[in-house]
Amino acid sequence: MSDHFSTKAVHAGEEKRKPYGALTTPIVQTSTFTFEDTAEILDYMQHKAANDPQVRDEYGRYSNPTQTAVERKIAALESGEQCLLFASGMCAITTAILALLSSGDHIIMVNGIYRRTREFAVSFLPRMKIETTFVPVDDLLALKAAIRSNTRLIFAEIPTNPYLRVFDPEKMVAIARKHNLLTAIDSTFATPVNLRPLELGLDLVIHSATKYLGGHNDLLAGAVIGSSELLTPIKEARGTLGGVSGSHDAYLLLRGLKTLDLRLRRQNENGQRVAEFLEKHPAVQRVYYPGLPSHPDYEIAQRYMTGFGGVVSFDIKGDTEKTSRFIDRLRLPYIGPTLGGVESIAQQQALFISLDAVERRKAGISDNLVRYALGIEDAEDLIADLKQALEGL
């Protein structure tokens, strides 16, 4: 297999010769897998006990051939030993954390993580007597100070949502190794096209595969990638908790991954060009994009990332109502809460968090913030649309 990313995106993880001579990996639409006789059951159990990675399938909650092909492909793209597929990104995050932590443990989370991840840490983990400390994305001293004798895991997101902050991953790894801590990174916004955290020494990479990996806004899935040893308890937890991806979503994800490199290159280009346009426009107060020198983490992003993604966040000069008018004047993007697909999607993020202004401020989201997730449309058309919407305010 070639080491080139685009070739791996097309071919990795799939058998060259597929059932029935099909070009694409089939959707194996079954909840259970049968055995010919008792001897085949015994053979299966022996291979399972030996942790044979080639062990056949038994039941849909544990594995499925379509799902397995996706897992092998994502593992190859992330330079990981193994990948586990889940029903959603949040299912991947929560299952991994629950599998790796026990009652009385402590986790450190870097600020800027997805709000539902934060909610899980604040509302659910305390029920299991697991404490969480949140630290700023750019404060290594605070990270070191937060470490306790019962700390087990550092969890972060790169880049963060929606302000696209980028921490220094190698410095985090150095701190974690000194204290024998695990590290887990939600790399949904970066994708393996722009950053491969495992190659920098991080332990686990997590994706909401619903976003860029799928790329077409037509599936829900999550993925956790890392060493086979570290993923073993997570796999056991997935089988018990039941958050496995269905074969149809796995098939759609497999299809989407084949064009990941092509799509991300266009979205990187669109992100950079749109960010540069917005930063010069008098109706825009501030732009948040790690590909701009004005971004606080520009130098870190330049050092580690090969591209800066298709999400551009920016503040409109004005209040809530003015920002809403801007959103409504846009003609090309859809209005919605997701990102990473071929279609552009814009949102006034505060309104998706709460209709209560106090609650929005608590979440750290300004009322005039726009998160624009750029698709693969032509950059000239996207910029022309932004121009007319801004000038009409």
Q: Catalytic site residues?
A: 61, 114, 186, 211
Query: Phi/psi of residue 38, each to 5°?
Result: -65, -40
Contact (CB, 8 A) for 317 and 278: no
| In the block, residue with structure tokens 């949904």 | 188
From the number of C-beta atoms within 10 Å of its C-beta (0-12, 13-18, 19+), residue 362 rates as exposed
CA atoms within 13 A on the CB side of 7: 4
Q: Which sign does the torsion angle of CA 289, 174, 193, 204 carry?
A: negative
Contact (CB, 8 A) for 191 and 264: yes
Tokens of 78: 């992330």
Contact (CB, 8 A) for 287 and 317: no
Q: Which of 279, 262, 250, 282 is nearest to 375 (CA)?
A: 262
d(CA 138, CA 111): 9
How does DSSP assign 358-389, residue by residue? HHHHHTT--TTEEEEE--SS-HHHHHHHHHHH
Three-state DSSP class for 107?
strand
Which helix (H) or strand (E) segment holds residue 268: the answer is helix 260-280
d(CA 317, CA 190): 28
Contact (CB, 8 A) for 305 and 194: yes
